Each structure stands twice: as structure tokens, then as C-alpha cells.
Amino acid sequence: MIIKFLYRTPFFSYATFPRTSFFCSKRHFFSYHPVRKPSLCRNQGKLTNIRYGIYLNTRSSMSCSATPAMAREKEMEQVDRILAAKEDDHGGVIVEMTNEPLDPSVFGSLLRASLSHWRQQVQFFGVRWTHLQGKKGVWIKLPIELVTLIEPAVKEGFYYHHAEPKYLMLVNWLPGTANTIPANATHRVGISAFVVNEKNEVLVVQEKSGRFRGTGVWKFPTGVVDEGEDISDAAVREVKEETGVDAKFVEILAFRQSHKSFFDKSDLFFVCMLQPLSFDIKKQDAEIEAAEWMPFEQYTAQPFVQGHDLLRNISDICSGKIEGRYTGFSSVPTVTSFSEKKTYLYMNNNDRATGHDDANVTGN
């Protein structure tokens, strides 16, 4: 049987000169492999074969069958390899598994070897070994096809961080210090669309499902902001989907934060004002029972609105906007030093200092 004590590094691999024996007997010997100039080692897929160091060879005078020997050799080959990973910006590593099938026991062996490597890394610089600080968080992005690998990962200390339709993200905090890995997304973002025409009529709907089904309550079009979608665009989209009315985003009038909402997540709800660009209503049959233009005073007079503190406050804000007593937050295109992608800064332009270009704002 051959037992190998291995050091691994993500940067270099080491070749060895012929073995030099320091101690020998009939049964066993220790040997050391001198190292020579390191060479760059590049990842070539999911597994990385990086090994160097001291070998302890133990030889037995008893013969063994081929099958156990082959099993042991296979096991050692598995231990020789570690999972390929890329470093993140916070002292951790990310393992992105492909959907190639992998036996759970083999994955468990690879994962244990990899964790040992990531906990304490060693590199050889010229004439001496240098210990580096171990990795912090280890992330494993596991495609849905590899669901059988969840159990061995959990046994090694990994836990669920978040899930998407096609993958599960697992994470493990390696240091013996307080875990500083941020939680998954904590908020859901929703919008309510206050669409008012020149007659002071507001666009309202009755829903076929949800808490308002069958209540006869008229409400503003509402919905959830999609991933990667701006709040302003979401408001325009929801109005179009529910009523068929084209509209232009004007301002965010107010927003509300609540907690323990959808799947116990917090909720951000933005009340947006929109200007209608068309007036013919074509309601969404799947979700909307009815849609119409209603005088604003008739909407606010509904018992449900008057009896609901949040809706009454929103109605007061909308009334102030109609009468010119209230100014909300308009969207200003902006870029930051982190990304050249256009984003929006929502701000009150009413009292904004002069001397700045309203068309664009550059942030840090």
C-alpha cells in the first residue's frame, strides 16, 4: 500500500528528481523527492491534478488480490486530484460543476481533498516553503443534474445559500471565525402604477385572483419587478400587460418597506406615477376581471381605501401630486465607476441646485 502526504497549490506543480532513500528496511522506507524549478499549472476542466512532497511507502510481504489493489490505487488517484476553482474577490473560491455525471463517493473524496488544500495552502518559493492564509468561503454551484452530490457536500459542512431553476448554490465557511458570508437576496421589489389622464381619471383594475378576488375592490395595477429590470420599466410593463394601455414613467411618488412577506422575505413596494400615451383598454383576461378609467375621487371614496391606512396615505400623496403640492423622484440616467452600464438615480429635481446637467449624472 502507498500512502501519500500531499501539498497542493493553485499556482504551481512540481516535478521530481529520482527518489533518494533516507531509510530502508525489508518492510518499508521513507523517501524524499527533491523539487526543481516549478512550472505553471493550468486548469484543464473540472479536476486539477497538482501534487508534490513526501511519500511514505509501506510494503507488505503478504500478497494481495488484484481487485483490492486496484481499488486502493483508484482511491489514491481520486485523492491526488482536487476540484478546479476560481478565486473570488473576498478570499474565497468558487467551484462551478458541469453537468457531467459524477459518482457521489468520488465527489466526496475529491471534496475532502480540496477542502484540505483550501484550508491551508503551501507554496514553494526558490529555497523555502511558505504557508499562505487559507481560503474563507467555498462556493459550489451545483447544476440540477447533479442533485445526488448534495448529500456528500452537506456532510462536509456545506449548506444551502440559494437556488435557481437550474442550479443550487452551496457554501461553506472554512475559518474558525464568525461567518461573514452575506445572506441570499433579502427583498422582493414590487410596483403600483398611478396612471392619471387629463380628466383626473385614474386607471384601475379588479383582479381575478389573490386577496382582492371577488371583493369588488378597484385598485391600481401592481406587479413584481423582474430580475434585471428597472423599476420604471416594470411599471410601464405592468400597465401594458394588465390593461393594454401604453404609458410613460414620470416619477416614483413613495415607497414602502415591509417584512416577513413573500417566503418570509422583506418587500419593497414603489408607488409610481405614469402618463398615459393611449386610452383604449384591453384587459388581460387571465388575471384581470375588469379595468376602467375612474374619477380619482370615486377611487379614493371606496370604503376599503378609506379603511386601509397605507392606501389612504397613498391616495393623499396622489392627490397632492394632481394638485401640484407634491413632487416625487424622477429617474436620472447615471453611470458609476464600477460599470459602464446605464442605471437610474431616482431623485427630487424640484429643489436641485443649478449648474448641473440633468440629462446625466456620474457617480463613484
Q: Which residues are catalytic?
A: 241
- List the one residue out of 149, 116, 150 whose CA is nearest residue 9: 116
Contact call for residues 275 and 234 (beta carbons, < 8 A): no
In order of 96, 99, 119, 140, 158, the CA distances from 89 in angstroms are 16, 25, 17, 16, 20
Which residue carries 382582492 as its cell? Answer: 212
User: Which whole-number Å values give the CA distances from 102 to 20, 96, 106, 142, 166, in the listed order?
Assistant: 38, 14, 7, 12, 17
Q: How far apart are the C-alpha atoms of 335 and 80, rounded to whole Å?
A: 47
CA distance 169 to 191: 29
